């Protein structure tokens, strides 16, 4: 029988950072030269491309694992299970715990172990480990948990996607406006209905020439501390890579599911960039010579920004709990989850409710 999501939870940080809050920043180009355009023009162009109006930053007293534990508690309560029954805790992230105003990454012990500790789970047979898979980490965690459930070695799994990207950004890089913080989690259990739950998936890694499209690098400002590294990306290369490869992975997942394209009611795609996501979905439907249906692609990036592995589980929770205006998922609906990120990694999943 298929694996089913029985509970979801999120933690959306309280601190709101609006586009106007970047007006006084000093932005420099990749060549470490001052940008001639005013910040008003930079921000206007940024919003036009990404769709982002504001984003969320984690409160100073919290770390990534704290936010993840809060989201996990909500998911566990939503699933109405005993935490001691959880067989696996799979935590998708990329930068570990990072204290406020200190961008040194801390992954020892693993963040999954920290969450298990914060949840006060005593069961030693509950295995906790991290998945470092770029932005697709949460979806990959679902795939991994499903494999263990189908193999009969797990019955209940907690899958988390959480990140504090705002703590690894270069304030002198325009791309810093993209990133945000957040946490999402779900409980995945063995179901009893072959028509409900995870129907199929596809996962791919492109590393021959694409591995370093996202990387750690120096600040765009020359006088900055040369020993500090920040998240950097080749935006145009990522855009082209995503358009050329993500739709094919989505098609592979759908074709494996046996469902017709018309059965898909929502596509929950990683909230990376509004125009890029729209282009990916358009190209996916073009593979079937079909127009894109209205309302197929819900978006949260406008208000929440790009929180990496947290975007897809957050989006799912918002819709399931009727917190995203104009979007809902009903019994019998099939949806697709899709993500792309550092590595470069891609995955897609077909799930039926």
pLDDT digits (tens, 9 = 90+) for 272-314: 999 999 999 999 999 999 999 999 999 999 999 999 999 999 9
Q: Which of 174, 190, 206 is the last residue of a domain?
A: 190
pLDDT at 1: 87
Tell whether 146 and 207 lie within a shared domain: no
Tell whether 29 and 130 lie within a shared domain: yes
pLDDT at 272: 93
pLDDT at 224: 65
Q: Which of 152, 174, 190 is the last residue of a domain?
A: 190
Tell whether 183 and 274 lie within a shared domain: no
Q: Which domain holds residue 261?
A: 197-352
Going by their DSSP bridges, the two strands 3-11 and 181-190 should be labelled as antiparallel
pLDDT at 318: 98
Tell whether 224 and 329 lie within a shared domain: yes
Tell whether 181 and 204 lie within a shared domain: no
Tell whether 262 and 281 lie within a shared domain: yes
CATH (domain of 143): 3.40.47.10
- Kindly state the tokens that stand for 26: 């000093």
What are the residue ranges in the chain where pLDDT is below 70?
A: 224-225
Tell whether 149 and 206 lie within a shared domain: no
Tell whether 263 and 180 lie within a shared domain: no
Tell whether 244 and 172 lie within a shared domain: no
- Tally the domains of the chain: 2
Q: Give per-residue pLDDT as tens, 31-78.
A: 888 888 999 999 999 999 999 999 999 999 999 999 999 999 999 999
Tell whether 277 and 250 lie within a shared domain: yes
pLDDT at 182: 98
Tell whether 11 and 153 lie within a shared domain: yes
Tell whether 136 and 48 lie within a shared domain: yes
Q: Which of 190, 206, 240 is the last residue of a domain?
A: 190
Q: What's the predicted TM-score (pTM) here? A: 0.95
């Amino acid at each position: 029988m298929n694996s089913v999501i029985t509970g979801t939870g999120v933690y959306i940080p309280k601190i709101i950072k609006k586009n106007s809050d970047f007006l006084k920043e000093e932005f420099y180009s990749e060549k470490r030269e001052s940008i001639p355009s005013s910040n008003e023009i930079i921000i206007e162009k940024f919003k036009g491309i990404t769709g982002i109006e504001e984003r969320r930053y984690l409160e100073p007293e919290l770390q990534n694992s704290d936010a993840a534990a809060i989201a996990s508690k909500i998911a566990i309560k939503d699933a109405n299970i005993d935490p001691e029954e959880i067989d696996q805790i799979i935590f998708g992230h990329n930068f570990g715990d990072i204290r406020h105003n200190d961008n040194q990454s801390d992954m020892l012990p693993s963040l999954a172990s920290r969450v298990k500790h914060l949840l006060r789970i005593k069961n030693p047979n509950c295995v906790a480990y991290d998945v470092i898979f770029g932005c697709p980490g949460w979806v990959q965690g679902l795939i991994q948990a499903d494999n263990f459930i189908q193999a009969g070695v797990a019955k209940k799994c907690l899958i988390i996607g959480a990140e504090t990207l705002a703590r690894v950004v270069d304030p002198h890089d325009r791309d810093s406006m993209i990133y945000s913080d957040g946490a999402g989690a779900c409980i995945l259990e063995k179901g009893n209905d072959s028509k409900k739950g995870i129907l199929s998936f596809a996962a791919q890694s492109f590393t021959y020439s694409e591995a370093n499209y996202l990387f750690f690098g120096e600040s765009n400002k020359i006088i900055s501390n040369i020993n500090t590294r920040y998240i950097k990306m080749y935006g145009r290369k990522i855009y082209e890579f995503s358009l050329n490869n993500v739709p094919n992975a989505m098609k592979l997942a759908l074709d494996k599911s046996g469902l017709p394209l018309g059965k898909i009611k929502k596509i929950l795609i990683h909230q990376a960039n509004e125009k890029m996501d729209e282009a990916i979905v358009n190209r996916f439907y073009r593979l079937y010579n079909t127009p894109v249906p209205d309302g197929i692609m819900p978006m949260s990036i406008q208000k929440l920004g790009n929180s990496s592995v947290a975007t897809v589980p957050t989006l799912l929770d918002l819709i399931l709990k009727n917190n995203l205006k104009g979007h809902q998922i009903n019994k019998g609906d099939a949806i697709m989850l899709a993500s792309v990120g550092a590595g470069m990694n891609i995955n897609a999943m077909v799930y039926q409710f």
